[in-house]
Amino acid sequence: MTEIDRRTADVVVVGAGLAGLTAAIRLAEAGLRVVTVAKGLGSIRLSPATIDILGYGPDLVHEPARELQGFLSAHPGHPYSLVSPVQLAASVQWLKEHTDGTAYVGDPDANMLLPTALGVPRPSAVVPETMAAGDIRKSRSVAVAGFSVLKDFQPDLAAENLQAAAAALGFGMTVRPLHLNTRVNGEADVSSLALARRLEDTAFRNAVAAELTAGLRDEDAVGLPAVLGLDQAASVWSDLQAMVGRPVFEIPTVPPSAPGMRLAKVLQDRLRHAGGRLVLGSEVVGAEVQGGQLAGVRVKTAARQLAWMCRWVVLATGGFASGGLAVDLSGAVSETALGLPVSGPPPDEPLFLPRYLDEHPMGSVGLKVDPLLRPLAYDGEPVHPNLYAAGAVIGGARPAREKSGDGISLSTGYLAAGIILQEAG
Amino acid sequence: MTTTWEAAELIRGSLDHCVKCTICESACPVAAVTPLFPGPKYVGPQAERFRTHEPSVDASLDYCSSCGICTLVCPQGVHVAEINSQARQKMKSQRGISLRDQLISRTPVQGKLGTPIAPLANAVLANKVARLITEYVIGIHRNAPVPKFAGRTFQRWARRRPASATAGTDKVVYFHGCSTNYFEPGLGEKTVAVLEHNGFSVVIPPQECCGLPLQSNGIFDTGRSYVRRLVRNLAPYARQGYKIVATSTSCGLMLKREAIEILGVDDNDLRLVSEHTYDICEFLADLDAAGRLRTDFGPVPMTVTYHAPCQQQGHNIGKPALDLFDLIPELKVVELDRACCGIAGTYGLKREKYEIAMKVGSGLFSDIRGAHPDAAVCDSETCRWQITHGTGATSVHPVEILHRAYGLA
Amino acid sequence: MRGFSTVLVERGDLATGTTGRFHGLLHSGGRYVVKDPKAAEECYAENVVLRRIAADCIEDTGGLFVTTPADDPGYADRFLQSCAATGIPAEEIPAAEALRREPRLNPRISRAIIVPDATVDAWKTVWTTARSATEHGAQILTYHQVVDMTRDGDTVTGAVVRDRSGAEVRIRAEITINATGAWAGQIAAMAGCEVKVLPGKGIMVATNHRLVNMCVNRCEMPGDGDIIVPIRTVSVIGTTDVQVADPDDWPITRAEIDEMITAGEALVPGFREARTLRVWGGVRPLFQDDAPAETRDVTRAHAVLDHKTRDGVAGLVTITGGKFCTYRLMAQDAVDAACKALGTSRPCHTADEPLPDSQDQSFYHISSRLAGRERTLHADQLICECELVRRGRLVAEIERREVPPSLDDIRRALRLGMGPCQGGFCMYRATGILHEERHLSAAAADDAMLDFLQERWKGVQPLLHGDQLRQAWLDDWIFQGVLDVEHLPHVEPAPADAPAGHDVPSRVQLPAQERKSARERRAAGQRGSGQQRPARSQKRTQP
């Protein structure tokens, strides 16, 4: 028989992704005792760290704030319908204020078009300042430089695609690839993170700048993979920019993501400074229910279980990628932390379609929530009056396609905290 | 009392959860400082698909420090560090285990030899020439932070201590570990005082090593016999429902989880002991949550840093030390956010790994120095020795702060 | 090797027919020893030969025949007797010993017999054999599809083939060997001959890691799903046996997948919870002169057909039927028949001359890539991390071919993209390297990537769940969220007569009517709904 230990908090946030950390920080800064339990780290660290509000709906979106209304009419049940335009804008503003170390620029009124590592212009509304100069609307002539030691960025392919893609969108650009052969300790296989750390070393940075400058001609701007430092990103970027004598922009690429780790660290630091606690390796295995309310969550610890008793719970465990949702061999979908009701696609629909780029019915599966972000039971009533959901665990969106995941996580996390704060008085 | 393949498959089988996301390798403190270690994803779930019972081929695995951060941060539930530990044990059993590793993993042997001759032993260990010779002959780095023998054992104190006036009828069992026994008996005394202050009668059964250093060095069979012997000593109390508190957070984790998961010891007594084992701060914070902790703390006008060691994080209980410190007036606590101090038990003592360990810890060292604390607080003894070595700062267990706050000094 | 000037044409990449689609078991012959001793003897004899000439392609895993509670315990005795009679080494061991060696086996097995099964890397074997052929002067033309056989009266004089660009090449030959396996009937028909080959479809499911390290067989009469094969880094459960009409068009049904997983569970408890990577299938060429009811009963021995005797058409020999483990013998027999038809007699040496890289007769070992990577840890980049493919090897493979390879070609040669992430991390890197090394246009490189994405999806989609679903979501996040692959600027519209290729089933099998119309839609150049860009179906040329 396993004993269950008990500790207390005001709010337990389950999940340390963008939605979870946003909610936790907001609550902790308001003076509530917040414990964030997470099975592990993830999502933010793997992401490009841009805040994508809405990129495709399915056509290219230029002004997310303005076009959101139309999008929602065509997509009823989308998580953005839970968030008012004012709250969306407020959450973005909140993030900018809380990331002054990572300096975000842009707003939901207009999408920039930033190149991906494949050279495709991707619509993003709010981005780290280190990336903004990559907006294809800004530059006529751009160089895209890759490091020969970095396999996760392929400049030739990116450059050629970017030029063609920009042209297809009506922007005449010339994009030229460059290869930087500066070595890193004689290693042939250097990850984005290792390169980012190395660039924080002045001598190395100078060598890179020299090689870069030697290779440039009269380009307006130069793009590099997103490896411009980890803790010292701001100074690495501005230093490099000064040495190269023209705007430099980061291009996010496949994980590991240096910008993602920067954002994760900034938010985790904020949580810590606000007195919030982050408990890792803590998988939620059940709920403590008392008197019809959720009284806490039970997590696995090294030898037992621990019940975090609290007044409110925010479930921000993410979707299938994070493990917040799962599907078994028979096709049954489940919400993995608290066993909340979640429906898969209708029985007459297959879960997945034959072509990779199809819109698979499984793609928008998730929790149904009420206007207060409370997960609903099959009878349409909230499962618990004090349980809120935020982020990708909520169904109704196709974040990777729409380029909407960050905006959904940020705004619903922000909103969930706001609702709890109202209740707390 | 055998290792079961189920236990092994539970660990090895968890490699199926790996989606190659790179979170573990981005968090690995060793991979961040040396290319000699290809990273936990590589040597764990990735390489394991290429391993069978045949001879091991990847020596780079040995640079894993077993800090366990990879397992902690994995969002999919891969037991990365445990896979690495088991693979390394297999490799070492095939290639042979050095004299050095045999020596440094047997703390009781060191303790029994060194305690009676403590002043001499300490002098030798502090002597540069002797350390140089030790480095060449055995392979322990000349600058490695080895502890000082106390010259007396905590067990002896326990046997001879007077009955306490404040002890109540509630019993709790103290698993003090080798470091308290041979190097820091004072910590043990303070722990007993704190517990007695809270009305507990502290039982200190005869006990020896939990086998963690043996496990870390891939000497699994001896490790198993050590832990089984320890469990025999503690199980009778667990059967009576008493909780077992540990001040060495890494040894506590060994009993809670690692002996089962890594050594694969399949033993009902161990399971029972494991369920009853608590890290001391966890125990006290639980008491506080239940309203049963004495909160008559006097002011402690100190600035301290708090570093939660990797193994403390591995308990998955948060940082209860911080919750306890919140109760102490005037105490200023700087919570640090660095992953690892580098020592990883015996890893940083080794000639070929010492520099790596110091690089791993360098961020933590500079954070501590920058905070100018009166003391650097840390739950693990080997980390405390490393921290003092790297910063010059005094390093203490959280219990020492509580002890002072209670005015028990 | 016998001194003929030879051209080999293959409509796709080498081994994309049946050869590259089986589970990799190099039979000891035990599987057939009770039911068809002659076939078993043949298997074992070739097993020995292949171990001698192709050691580098073979992993000496050994094999176990085990009696589960559902099997007839008496079969084991017949098995042992038959092995003794045919000379196949078979040694019974206590069940406990079998469980010690293979801890994941069903603990309730009652008997266990060790046989010299092994596993063989089909692509490696085929490519190495091709290399040997070119070293002896042969010309090998992949992606050259036969569109007609040429005849001069009653004699076949060669073939007309079409290459990737659509250009036609006429090949004159004194003798043509039709070695197209399940497609042999279609080729023979072009020369006016009838060869009845029944395509017998079998599906296989791969698990993410090796659940067993020996080949494990049910000690029973051959049936469906009675083998688990540890091939390279995965285990494969197989297989089914369903007659299909068209070797290029057949579904993989949900029921078959469930059947295979259930079969796996009988041998390895917990198989159902194991992470399954993908499902695929192949069609066996079952040659028949008569028409029996169930394809499994059709003889497995191969057949060499001299069409002069059979159909009065000279210059053409067909080899069909058979199985992988007797491939060398089949080739020997086919070339013997060709020699006879040409009126010469030249001896065969393939049983004695080792293939390139197999001269030292040391078997492949599963850890070899890991050992190799230890040596290149600092000197070369790891491109496919799951399968430990380094950049040097990738570049060599890219450079080697006259025509730039597709990513799927590279996959077959190097196993790129065959691990748990199914290309999630390596695809971008490999595409960039391919683009750079072969100076492809970005459009061509993008196409290569999109094709490969679809190809990987094809095998994953039918049983996507659990861990593999999480993987697919993460991969989607990378391709769509980070790279935005669906908005690439280049799209090469598929030509109007683009082949339908192998129909990709969804979890619920679409009714035949719908499948047909989907194919027709594709052929007409129309696109599916709800997407920005046309999807890529696997390009597969029809005969």
Q: Smallest CA–CA separation between A259 and chain B, in Å?
A: 12
Contact status of A42 with chain B (Cβ, < 8 Å): yes
Query: Mutate which of C408, C482, C531 to test chain A, going by most A C-beta atoms within 10 A?
Result: C482
Contact status of C280 with chain A (Cβ, < 8 Å): no
Q: Smallest CA–CA separation between C60 and chain A, in Å?
A: 33
Per-residue pLDDT of chain A (425 residues; tens, 9 = 90+): 456 789 999 999 999 999 999 999 999 999 999 999 999 998 899 999 999 999 998 899 999 999 999 999 999 999 999 999 999 999 999 999 999 877 899 999 999 999 999 999 999 999 999 999 999 998 799 999 999 999 999 999 999 999 999 999 999 999 999 999 999 989 999 999 999 999 999 999 999 999 999 999 999 999 999 999 998 998 999 999 999 999 999 999 999 999 999 999 999 999 999 999 999 999 999 999 998 889 999 999 999 999 999 999 999 999 999 999 999 988 899 999 999 999 888 877 888 999 999 889 999 999 999 999 999 999 999 999 999 999 999 999 999 999 999 999 999 999 999 999 999 98
C122's CB contacts (< 8 A; 6+ apart) are C15, C19, C20, C22, C24, C324
Contact (CB<8Å) A118/C483: yes
Nearest CA in chain B to A38: B75
Contact (CB<8Å) A45/B23: yes
Select from B17, B20, B57 the Cβ nearest to the Cβ of C385: B20
Whole-angstrom Cα distance, residue A39 to residue A137?
41
Confidence class for position B6, pLDDT limits 50, 70, 90: low
Return the half-sphere exposure (C-beta side, CA atoms, 13 A cut-off) of residue C235.
Answer: 28
Helix (H), strand (E) at residue C304: strand C302-306
The size of the A-B interface in CB pairs under 8 A is: 107
Return the half-sphere exposure (C-beta side, CA atoms, 13 A cut-off) of residue A137.
Answer: 9
Domain boundary among B57, B79, B95: B95
**Residue A292 pLDDT:** 84
Residue B220 falls inside a structural domain: no
Neighbours of chain C (3+ CB pairs under 8 A): A, B
Residue B11 falls inside a structural domain: yes
Kindly report, residue by residue over C92-114, the tens digit of the pLDDT.
999 999 999 999 999 999 999 99
Neighbours of chain A (3+ CB pairs under 8 A): B, C
ipTM for the assembly: 0.95
- Burial label, A172 (beta-carbon count in 10 A; 0-12, 13-18, 19+): exposed
Residue B149 falls inside a structural domain: no
CATH (domain of B43):
1.10.1060.10
Contact status of B337 with chain A (Cβ, < 8 Å): yes
Q: What sign has the CA pseudo-torsion B388, B392, B398, B399?
A: positive
Residue B387 falls inside a structural domain: yes
Query: Mutate which of B6, B46, B94 to test chain C, going by most C C-beta atoms within 10 A?
Result: B46
Contact (CB<8Å) B35/A8: no
**Residue C1 pLDDT:** 87
Contact (CB<8Å) B73/A41: yes
A277 neighbourhood in chain B, CB within 8 Å:
318-319, 322
Q: Phi and psi (nearest 5°) for A361?
A: -55, -30
Q: Please give the structure tokens belonging to residue C325.
A: 């483990």
Neighbours of chain B (3+ CB pairs under 8 A): A, C
Which residue, C132, C143, C173, is CA-closest to C156? C173
B257 neighbourhood in chain A, CB within 8 Å:
302-303
Contact (CB<8Å) C465/A328: yes
Residue B165 falls inside a structural domain: no
Q: Smallest CA–CA separation between B156 and chain A, in Å?
A: 30
Give the position of tokens 């494990």.
C216
Domain boundary among B40, B72, B95: B95
Residue B177 falls inside a structural domain: no
**Residue A346 pLDDT:** 82
- Are the C-beta atoms of residues A22 and A410 closer than 8 Å to each other? yes
CA A43 vs CA A92, A239, B314: distances in Å: 18, 29, 21
Contact (CB<8Å) A42/B21: yes
Greatest distance between any 2 Cα atoms in chain C: 67
CATH (domain of B313):
3.40.50
User: How does the average pLDDT of chain B come out, rounded?
Assistant: 93
Kindly report, residue by residue over A382-425, the tens digit of the pLDDT.
999 999 999 999 999 999 999 999 999 999 999 999 999 999 98
Contact (CB<8Å) A6/B289: yes
**Residue A3 pLDDT:** 62
pLDDT at B140 over 70: yes
Select from B23, B319, B322 the Cβ nearest to the Cβ of A40: B23
Q: Smallest CA–CA separation between C453 and chain A, in Å?
A: 7
Contact (CB<8Å) C461/A187: no
Full 3-state SS string of chain A:
CCCEEEEECCEEEECCCHHHHHHHHHHHHCCCCEEEECCCCCHHHHCCCCECCCCECCCECCCHHHHHHHHHHHCCCCHHHHCCHHHHHHHHHHHHHHCCCCCEECCCCCCEEEECCCCCEEEECEEEHHHHCCCCCCCCEEEEEEECCCCCCCHHHHHHHHHHHHHHCCCCCEEEEEEECCCECCECCCCHHHHHHHCCCHHHHHHHHHHHHHHCCCCCEEEEECCCCCCCHHHHHHHHHHHHCCCEEEECCCCCCHHHHHHHHHHHHHHHHCCCEEECCCCEEEEEEECCEEEEEEEECCCCEEEEECCEEEECCCCCCCCCEEECCCCCEEECCCCCCCCCCCCCCCCCCCCCCCCCHHHHCCECECCCCCEECCCCCECCCCEEECHHHECCCCHHHHCCHHHHHHHHHHHHHHHHHHHHC
Whole-angstrom Cα distance, residue A23 to residue A312?
12
Q: Please give the structure tokens belonging to residue C124.
A: 């490696």
Backbone φ/ψ region at C299: left (φ over 0), alpha (ψ -120 to 50), beta: beta
pLDDT at B166 over 80: no
DSSP state of C384: E
Whole-angstrom Cα distance, residue A36 to residue B170?
33
Which residue, C446, C436, C435, C439, is CA-closest to C487? C446
Q: Phi and psi (nearest 5°) for B331?
A: -75, 125
Select from B38, B53, B55 the Cβ nearest to the Cβ of C377: B38
Range of the domain at B52: 5-95
Contact status of A196 with chain B (Cβ, < 8 Å): no
Confidence class for position C403, pLDDT limits 50, 70, 90: confident
CATH architecture of C1-364: 3-Layer(bba) Sandwich (3.50)
Whole-angstrom Cα distance, residue A287 to residue A299?
9
Q: Output b/e per residue, C183-206; b: 16+ Cβ within 10 A.
A: bbbbbbebbebebebbbbbbbbbb
Contact (CB<8Å) B16/C467: yes
Q: Please give the structure tokens belonging to residue B109.
A: 């042997």
Helix (H), strand (E) at residue B246: strand B243-246
Residue B369 falls inside a structural domain: yes
Instruction: For chain C, give every domain's residue range.
Output: 1-364, 368-492
- Are the C-beta atoms of residues C149 and C159 closer than 8 Å to each other? yes
Kindly report, residue by residue over A120-131, the tens digit of the pLDDT.
999 999 999 999
C369 neighbourhood in chain B, CB within 8 Å:
50
Kindly report, residue by residue over C284-326, the tens digit of the pLDDT.
998 887 544 444 544 447 889 999 988 899 999 999 988 899 9
Q: Give Cα B237 to chain centroid, integer Å.
A: 23
pLDDT at C471 over 70: yes
